[in-house]
Structure 1
Amino acid sequence: MTKVTQSTKLGGTASDVQIGTVAHGLMLMVWMPGANTDEQCFESIKAGVDALPPGTKMFLNAGEFYAHDLGTANLELLSRFYAKYPNYADKTFLSVKGGIDNKMQPHGSLEFLRNSVDNVLRALGPNKKLDLYQPARIDRSIPLEELIGNLVTLQKEGKFDHIGLSELTGATLRKAHARCTRVDVIPRPFHKIHPITAAEVEISPWSYEQRTKDLLEASKELGVSVLAYSPLGHGFLTGQIKSVSELQEGDFRLRLSRTKEEYFEHNMAMVEKLSTIAKRLGVTNAQLCISWVKHLGPNVVPLPGSSKATRTLENLAAGDIQLSTEDFAEITNIVENGEIKGDRYFGLPEEAMGLWT
């Protein structure tokens, strides 16, 4: 059976929590064409947990809106998992994103966030606590200190243990962290320190810009974990997809700007260069990309997704790969000099999607 040896600590108020160096995203278990059976998904989670060192938790990442209808199917799947395997509850650390409406617009009011968290808890059921909650986008219509204050209020009510943020810049992280550690701006009676535990953003060889570097610098300085989602470029960096025509009808990746026919061949040139290095090192493309992301900082936790046990174990094994200084520099040079064409989401500017706030 596959075993991994490496683990890491989370940041902020979860600094005593030991997790695997590679996390596990659950979105595509319910958001891809074709139904994944419960048992297939359950075995994917169990295999990851069982491969970790003793006392190490598997970091799981879910969403209130991870479903075709933006409903709670993802959480309901987890509810069935924990009902069937209750002994795995304490072996996993669960992060859930929420706080957006059915038009994917964020709302940071206390009432909306409370309804969101309560909805998460209802769908998740009684067998697993909510370890970390994070708004999926930053609501720019309200002051940042109000948003953080509202999260602290819900945390103090015992609805979740730790606070995370998603799709943010280094500057926003610095402001948010300052807002929640300065006692003069925390609404009374909450005059304690409540640092941000994790910041979730997309990082991969296809998504590594100056703002990514700024966030990494801020997070390292503040002791905040970075959850690097889509480290495999939604699967394209694995080298397994040779043509957009291979994707099934209904696959959300067909809507991504970077997969348009006029961009695809150009963008896949980087994949070919990475494949050469992967073959030389005796690892898969996926493992090379995950390992490179992990090497961006001691607080960086790659967050690939999987619904198959074999893929989960392949991803986790990447956490044990130690890139040499020369190999890391070679990969970084390819990444920084590879001009990727197209926006990350649906051909829309990232600001229009509420990304990188």
Structure 2
Amino acid sequence: MASRVPRRQLGSQGLEVSALGLGCMGMSDLYGAPKPEPDMIKLIHHAINAGVTLLDTSDVYGPKTNEILLCKALKGGMRDKVQLATKFGIKLDGSWEVQGDPAYVRAACEASLKRLEVDCIDLYYQHRIDTSVPIEITMGELKKLVEEGKIKYVGLSEASASTIRRAHAVHPITAVQLEWSLQSRDVEEEIIPTCRELGIGIVAYSPLGRGFFSHGPNMLEKLEESDARKYLPRLQPENLEHNKIMYERINDLATKKGCTTSQLALAWVLHQGNDVVPIPGTTKIENFEHNIGALSVKLTPEDMAELESIASPDSIKGDRYGAGFKTYKDSETLPLSAWKA
């Protein structure tokens, strides 16, 4: 089957991936109950056959069960067709804990290799930054894992510009994963320019605003009780009335362009540059096909300017996460001089 998804270079170290990846978290965790395994394996196979090569998971999704799902899906010759990205750094032992010391980095990597049943992880991200450990120390261990052939490329997720610079000085960072969409544009100020200066690829998670651009302002009514999105500040009544205005204006523009609101929102991310790879998640083949359709949406400079004026960084009300969730704004680690191993 001919690929329907073009390729993009991710970073400066030689990693080439599909221009659209597949976020796998929602198959197992956080967005309602885990979905039936046979259906998810069928979806993953469908995505690979369509030309998607970048599959994104983490040891914390499930926890752990999402990696096992990907392991099952990639049996029978599928492994060689994809680049596997997974993450370490978040522990869910009754509470949200971030860890990045060398012993933990190595133990987490070994455990992921075992669950995925692979010899090497293509792209290994630090999922959140442990501020108690200098980033140079964490990166030192990741560099050793690269040298040992256990991982090919190193990534960071939700890291500040200064954290990225410090990490990149120890070992090249291939990709930074961050939330980037028409309703999450704060990364454009400092993080995106830093990545581009250093030749680091950008992987955009939640490019559809966690489903806001797919389901619309009434999405809360469609979510299961166990869906974590029910508690996101942006979807709460005090913010939603305001945020609906932006959605409706983008929807009007999508109608003019002959596509859906979600396709327009995803196309906007895809048009940010050939160094950007969005990884929308889905649990349904029809939704995956819908996302693939965004690759055919062509946006003019005028379209981009109009979208960016509608969705200016201050046009959304509410934070990305509720209290207690670490983001790039909380990622400054100790200086290396303060480290006592």
- TM-score normalised by L of structure 2: 0.90
Residue of structure 2 equivalent to 1:169: 160
Structure-2 residue corresponding to 1:90: 80
8 Å CA contact 1:199, 1:224 repeated in 2:
yes
**Aligned pairs (5 A) from 1:1-357:** 4-13=4-13, 15=14, 17-31=15-29, 32-52=31-51, 58-67=53-62, 71-83=63-75, 86-102=76-92, 103-126=95-118, 129-177=120-168, 179-180=169-170, 194-209=171-186, 211-240=187-216, 242-336=218-312, 339-346=315-322, 348=323, 353-356=326-329, 357=331
- In structure 2, how many angstroms separate the alpha carbons of the residues matched to 1:33 and 1:197? 32
User: Per the alignment, in what secondary structure is the counterpart of residue 60 of structure 2?
Assistant: coil
The answer (yes or no) to whether the contact 1:108–1:150 under 8 Å persists in 2 is no
Shift of residue 24 of structure 1? 0.7
Change (3 A) 1:28 1:337: closer
Within 2, Cα distance between the matches of 1:89 and 1:336? Answer: 40
| Equivalenced residues, count | 327
| Counterpart AA for 2:50 | A
Distance (whole Å) between structure 1 residues aligned to residue 272 and residue 190 of structure 2: 12
**240-249 or 97-106: bigger deviation:** 240-249
The CA distance in 2 between the partners of 1:278 and 1:338, in whole Å, is 21
Deviation at 1:337, TM superposition (A): 6.1
Secondary structure of 1:353 counterpart: coil
* Other structure's SS at 1:8 match: strand
**Is contact 1:6–1:320 with CA below 8 Å preserved after alignment?**
no
Q: CA 1:35–1:297 in structure 2 vs 1: closer, same or farther (change >3 Å)?
A: same
User: 1:74/1:303 Cα in 2 relative to 1: closer, same or farther (>3 Å)?
Assistant: same
Cα distance in structure 2, aligned partners of 1:290 and 1:238: 10
The letter for the 2-side match of 1:22 is L
Distance 1:293 1:41, change over 3 A: same
Q: Return closer, same or farther for 1:158/1:2 CA change in 2, 3 Å cut-off.
A: closer
Structure 2 residue identity aligned to 1:143: P
Task: Give, in angstroms, the shift of residue 93 of structure 1.
Answer: 0.6
Listed one character per residue, the Cα deviations across residues 150-169 of structure 1 (whole Å, up to 9, x for unaligned) are 11012222221110001012
Q: Which runs of 4+ in 1 moved over 3 A?
A: none
Change (3 A) 1:147 1:243: closer
* Cα distance, 1:196–1:35 mapped onto 2, change above 3 Å: closer
Aligned-residue offset at 1:149? 0.9
Any gaps of 5 or more consecutive residues in structure 1? 181-193
Cα offsets for 1:253-312 (capped at 9, x unmatched): 112111111111211211111111111111121111111112222211111101212212
CA shift at 1:240, angstroms? 4.2
Amino acid at match of 1:208: R
Contact persistence 1:138–1:167 (CA under 8 A): yes
Contact map agreement 2:105 2:138 (CA 8 A) in 1:
no
Task: Please state how far the C-alpha of 1:339 moved relative to its aligned partner.
Answer: 2.1
Distance 1:331 1:2, change over 3 A: farther
Partner residue of 1:187? none
- Separation in 1, partners of 2:79, 2:5: 21
The answer to whether the 8 A contact 1:205-1:335 is kept is: yes
Specify the alignment match of 2:338 in structure 1: none
**Amino acid in the other structure paired with 1:47:** H
**Structure 1 residue 107 displacement after superposition:** 1.6
In the TM superposition, residue 222 of structure 1 has moved relative to its aligned partner by 1.4
Shift of 1:232: 0.7
Counterpart code for 2:89: G
- Shift, 1:338, TM fit: 5.2
Partner Cα separation in structure 1 for residue 147 and residue 54 of structure 2? 23
Distance in 1 (CA, whole Å) between partners of 2:274 and 2:227 is 34
Identity among equivalent pairs (%): 32
